Structure 1
């Protein structure tokens, strides 16, 4: 029997996904391990390889549609096999697949109901000749206002009058036999806008335009709902969870980065690998976490769990939002190795080439916005961690050293802490250790 291919779980936090691109079409032969689709998850767009071999009998999921984990997305089998029988045997997947196509039909039948509008045209057309059929002379404006029955007007004039909120009975027609025409309505609308005691101005301007207090027209732009990516949905869900469940408090310290800047300049010529200031921060954080294991911990709902390993999450900005690649066993790596791995993870993360295991399991996260010119900020703790470090830009600052005023390189760091896991003194000691390492960076290289 044909086999049903389901939407797989490609990350530990994935709850739904989107087929970003199919790499096969119906009728194609597929081998086991062959790339058949790219699937957008909450963390990245992942390649999905087939677990089975066969012919693509049917593609059930269109590109761009959000689906839950386990939803049937394709049917593989031998040519001529019964797809409907396979879907029925699959259970709920087959039950939902068939009615989905038939569902729009009732709506399509109901669509013609708004047909009254076309019918209005013949009515107006029939009404238009009425004045010429009447031998009586055209009524004066005063008589026309008081006359009962339908006002003679062209269909276009009626539509314009409705748009401007003007009663046809208040307009003097200049058409044949006093018929109200387009220019009559436009003149009336212009007169209302100019009159000091006119009716509300908004009723006399075209749709999509408002007038300010001075009568100047302003273009009104509608709100635009934005379709969320799977990553943006995951960020919204997890950050809402973090703010609702984790009692945050924040500690900020200022670091003297003069020696760190000088060391980085020396390293540029001493080694081939590129070393950034963020790499120095990552190294200091990994060493400080080893000294303060109480910060490398999290609240599991009942107790505090101290992590055995130091796995550093490195926040990386991408078009859709934010990803956090993980440098594993960061405390056991030298500066060059740590820098190379962090750089590689960041580049592949922006290209959506990271595997799920490379974006999960972090025990502490560093988020650096210094390259964007941000001096100081507070970050939100990732669920499953006990703290996150927010790093600002290195800036020239007026400082006093040994009683002398000068200029120094200074950087602010803010530690967000989970109050269930640690207290203020614990976080302060951790920051003091980090500050000492960054102010004496050669100690980290020893």
Structure 2
């Protein structure tokens, strides 16, 4: 009998997902292990390898539609079999038929396709869409041949599909066309509403559908603020020697191989060695003091953020941390991180200094006991001890702590050590 393929659980926190793109069509012959779709989860967009072989009898899930884990997305079988019979049996069994067809444990390769491959896959895919169109579309929009992903991007950017020339088969608008129209500026923007009385223009609100990543951020941050009693400690650190050391290292390598954030990460890891109470998390009926030091690095994306993890950070050299952070950041921005690279951190560092933010307070990631918010390095005048002033570089950091797992003195001692390490950074290279 034909088998129902269900939406798999591709990460520990995944509760729902979206078929971002089908890579097969109805009637195709699929082998076990073949990549059949790209699935957008709460952490990344990942390739989904089929656990079954056979003929694609039906693609049940439209591209772009949010589904719960375990929901049917396709039916595989032999030529001539009726997919509706398999779906009916699946429903009557309460979903039990999906267990063999789509296990939830294995996580496939998270290395998504290149932009060129994505464009080719989209251009060659069937021009299907969810019945009745998407929220925010007009009937005219639904008559325009466009891929589901192109429609989604056009809505997000506020672009009028009718004004975008399509380069796909038979003039179909694909996501590359939408991105190109956006890059051109206001030419392809949806027509602005007519001016109301006087000099004011009434512009409508835009309802932006939540991506899986945005949903996960909303859920986890609300959980954190609801359940974790935060307290905050701030410290101002002289960064003159750190700046000089960084300049010396980069000059020796002939390139910018080390950032200030890399120095902060190393200092955080070394400070945690001396203050293991800050390397704790609350676990209901116990406090977990983590034996290893794994530092999460917050990386901003266009539609959210992810936190890849530098594992065993206290056991690595500065240049090792710098190379690893650079690699993780690049792959985070291209959505090529594996789920396991974004789990297991025991503390997180969030840096907004590059945006000119002097200081801020961050929200603790559930499962951790602290997060360090790093501000910009500022040129300031400080007393020179002789009645005058001298130029200096200063940086403010703010540590958010879970009061269930540690107390104020624990965080204060940690910050004192962190300050000393960054104000005398050569000691960390010994």
Aligned to 1:284: 267
Q: Judging changes above 3 Å, is the alpha-carbon distance between structure 1 residues 46 and 80 closer, same or farther for their aligned structure 2 residues?
A: same
Aligned to 1:442: 426
Give, in whole Å, the separation in 2 of the partners of 1:68 and 1:346: 29
CA deviation after TM superposition for structure 1 residue 297, in Å: 0.7
Alpha-carbon RMSD across the aligned residues, in angstroms, is: 1.9
Aligned to 2:359: 376
SS at match of 1:358: helix
1:41-440 map, 5 Å: 41-91=41-91, 210-211=196-197, 216-271=198-253, 274-403=257-386, 404-440=388-424
Q: Judging changes above 3 Å, is the alpha-carbon distance between structure 1 residues 257 and 28 closer, same or farther for their aligned structure 2 residues?
A: same
Give, in whole Å, the separation in 2 of the partners of 1:363 and 1:415: 14
Give yes or no for contact 1:12–1:360 (8 Å, CA) kept in 2.
no
CA deviation after TM superposition for structure 1 residue 222, in Å: 2.1
Give, in whole Å, the separation in 2 of the partners of 1:260 and 1:290: 20
Aligned to 1:131: none
1:275-331 deviation per Cα after TM superposition (whole angstroms, max 9, x unaligned): 111000000011111111111111112221111111111000001111000111111
Q: Structure 2 regions of 5+ residues with no counterpart?
A: 96-128, 133-192
Aligned to 1:15: 15
Aligned to 1:141: none
CA deviation after TM superposition for structure 1 residue 334, in Å: 1.0
Give, in whole Å, the separation in 2 of the partners of 1:92 and 1:24: 27
Count of paired positions: 334
Q: Judging changes above 3 Å, is the alpha-carbon distance between structure 1 residues 239 and 332 closer, same or farther for their aligned structure 2 residues?
A: same
TM-score w.r.t. length of structure 1? 0.72
Give, in whole Å, the separation in 1 of the partners of 2:424 and 2:254: 23
Give, in whole Å, the separation in 2 of the partners of 1:352 and 1:30: 26
Q: Structure 1 regions of 5+ residues with no counterpart?
A: 96-100, 105-206
Give yes or no for contact 1:87–1:94 (8 Å, CA) kept in 2.
no
Q: Judging changes above 3 Å, is the alpha-carbon distance between structure 1 residues 363 and 272 closer, same or farther for their aligned structure 2 residues?
A: farther
Q: Judging changes above 3 Å, is the alpha-carbon distance between structure 1 residues 92 and 287 closer, same or farther for their aligned structure 2 residues?
A: farther
Give, in whole Å, the separation in 1 of the partners of 2:65 and 2:415: 46
1:150-203 deviation per Cα after TM superposition (whole angstroms, max 9, x unaligned): xxxxxxxxxxxxxxxxxxxxxxxxxxxxxxxxxxxxxxxxxxxxxxxxxxxxxx
Runs of 4+ in 1 over 4 A off after TM superposition: 92-95, 207-211
SS at match of 1:396: strand
Aligned to 2:31: 31
Give yes or no for contact 1:87–1:93 (8 Å, CA) kept in 2.
no
SS at match of 1:218: coil
SS at match of 2:278: coil
CA deviation after TM superposition for structure 1 residue 91, in Å: 2.7
1:355-403 deviation per Cα after TM superposition (whole angstroms, max 9, x unaligned): 0100111110000001111110000000111100000111101111323
Give, in whole Å, the separation in 2 of the partners of 1:217 and 1:92: 61
CA deviation after TM superposition for structure 1 residue 93, in Å: 8.3
Give yes or no for contact 1:59–1:73 (8 Å, CA) kept in 2.
yes
CA deviation after TM superposition for structure 1 residue 353, in Å: 0.3
Larger Rg: 1
